[in-house]
Chains A and B, each alone.
Chain A
């Protein structure tokens, strides 16, 4: 029965054109980044850094490296936008359209309905990250050869892997990114359970994320930055570190789990108590 209900939610979700906006934008953004790297001097700085550290650039300016480079802006900016768009729609859009009233004339508990909808949101979040990872490598492979992975964030990250290890780290980063996507989706889902328009739920979720990011970067809050959601959302990039900071990842996973449970609890409580009217 749960499977049937989840399948139905997925039909509803993936039957809508707007669900695919995120996938489409990922395709466009990834192809744009690949073409910029292929037909401009954008890779020169990376080559210099590699050469300066004693590595052969030709081994590491690869499809895996380009796919990883394009991952950063997309994961920071676009992924939260599209998962919160879907998360914000899950309940509020049905309430706005009036289909929620039809559903709630059925003998299904509100909590079960929410859980089924949330699971559909999780499937979407995982699918988005999967698409991001697979499309990234696929498009980069058209213009760049297969090779090692070079990940570099000035002052934070400098890692060089051979192709096999690089692929493992790239895959691991996507696994954790799926958790980030799920968390942002759950945040939007929580707001969606309130009596608000779907757009408002999305905007509230994104505002919460941006506010966390801004506060976290104010020097005054530096000592307590680990209390902010955004400090833990980017745990995926630690999978690209050498060596992987396992304790730090577990810490973030635990705290994000706490955030997710809190968002779900608040959402369920609000939804359980509210009146559903036409």
Chain B
């Protein structure tokens, strides 16, 4: 549904996105992760024809966005971090205005979408009276009006309370299951991405540093929590023996390639350490993300 080929974007002299290649297959919930200023929103801007790439090709729904923007966006809906509307107009009027930029939309379709997002009864009230959660629902409604096949969500949970975040997460799952949409989700919330997405891309300082499935993320490294009588000495010796590749929080270690958890215990016991605890730690997206960030910082 989305393909970025060798995309580069420079604002003035500052590169915002470098050598970006990305592929979002149909039917997936694809997560884009990265710190503020990593280039996620610039990439989304390029996918929507709002930001022109300096180099490269951006293809959405089979069309080059730079050259055939209208055709590329015919079946695309988008939500941005802060849902902003014409506050002085009603929700209904806002939806009419925004949907008519795509095509004339019937009142029946408007009612159907308003019902789907759960705003029935409040659609005639001015948007300035809406809560943040209601605005997010209205944003979702405007994105769904043109019957999209692809939904681009740029930090949709931003500013929502925990209940709202949960609701948004539930809605995203519904969107994929009930409507069969392909969803690109840009988010800071690692647990949200972990729960929703099947594939992710991680961006750092305008460069994609990882693209793969969540299984790749989880399976990449085995982490163990190891509590010993002399943690620092044990860490040094495990390093020297090349049994661990990385460490965190003084007692959390990533096993080196081909190393097994029991080998660590054997190694330490043989050298007179008391091993109080050893548990295999399932790597989370957070672990993976932080290790990527650390590795990238190390390179710089």
Contact = CB atoms under 8 A, between A and B. Distances in A.
A105 B100 contact: no
Interface in B1-31: 11
A277 B89 contact: no
Contact of B51 (A11, A15, A276): A276
Interface in B110-145: 139, 142
A132 B81 CA distance: 43
A101 B52 contact: no
Interface residues of B, number: 39
B202 interface: no
Interface in B79-114: 80-82, 84-86, 88-89, 93, 96-98, 100-104
B76 interface: yes
B86 A107 contact: no
B50 A106 contact: no
A87 B189 CA distance: 41
A108 B70 contact: yes
A276 B97 contact: no
Given A4-B104, A98-B80, A12 B74 contact: no
A98 B82 contact: yes
Given A11-B97, A98-B82, A99-B84, A107 B89 contact: no
Contact of B93 (A11, A17, A105, A275): A11
A8 B50 contact: no
A278 B155 CA distance: 12
The winner among B48, B71, B77 for most chain A CB atoms within 10 A is B48
Nearest to A105: B78
Interface in B48-63: 48-52
Interface string A1-19: 1001100100110011100
B48 A105 contact: yes
Contacts of B239: none
A102 interface: yes
A278 to B, nearest CB: 6
A277 B41 contact: yes
A98 B93 CA distance: 18
B45 interface: yes
A105 B51 CA distance: 11
Given A16-B88, A108-B101, A275 B51 contact: yes
Contacts of B52: 273, 275
A277 B93 contact: no
A101 B80 contact: yes
B110 to A, nearest CB: 13
A77 B198 CA distance: 62
A109 B86 contact: no
Interface in A30-70: none
B184 interface: no
A106 B73 contact: yes
B88 A15 contact: yes
A97 interface: yes
A104 interface: yes
Given A15-B88, A109-B69, A103 B98 contact: yes
A276 B44 CA distance: 11
Nearest to A113: B101
Contacts of B93: 11, 15
Contact of B45 (A98, A103, A107, A277): A277
Contact of B96 (A1, A8, A106): A8
A5 B139 CA distance: 19
Interface string A92-127: 000001110111111111000100000000000000
A61 B147 CA distance: 65
Contacts of B76: 105, 107
Sort A-B residue pairs by CB-CB distance and give the 4 closest, nearest first. Answer: A106-B101, A105-B78, A107-B73, A98-B84
Given A1-B104, A8-B96, A275-B51, 20 more contacts: A1-B103, A4-B104, A8-B97, A11-B89, A15-B88, A98-B80, A98-B82, A99-B86, A101-B80, A104-B49, A105-B73, A106-B98, A107-B102, A108-B101, A108-B102, A275-B45, A275-B52, A276-B50, A277-B51, A278-B41
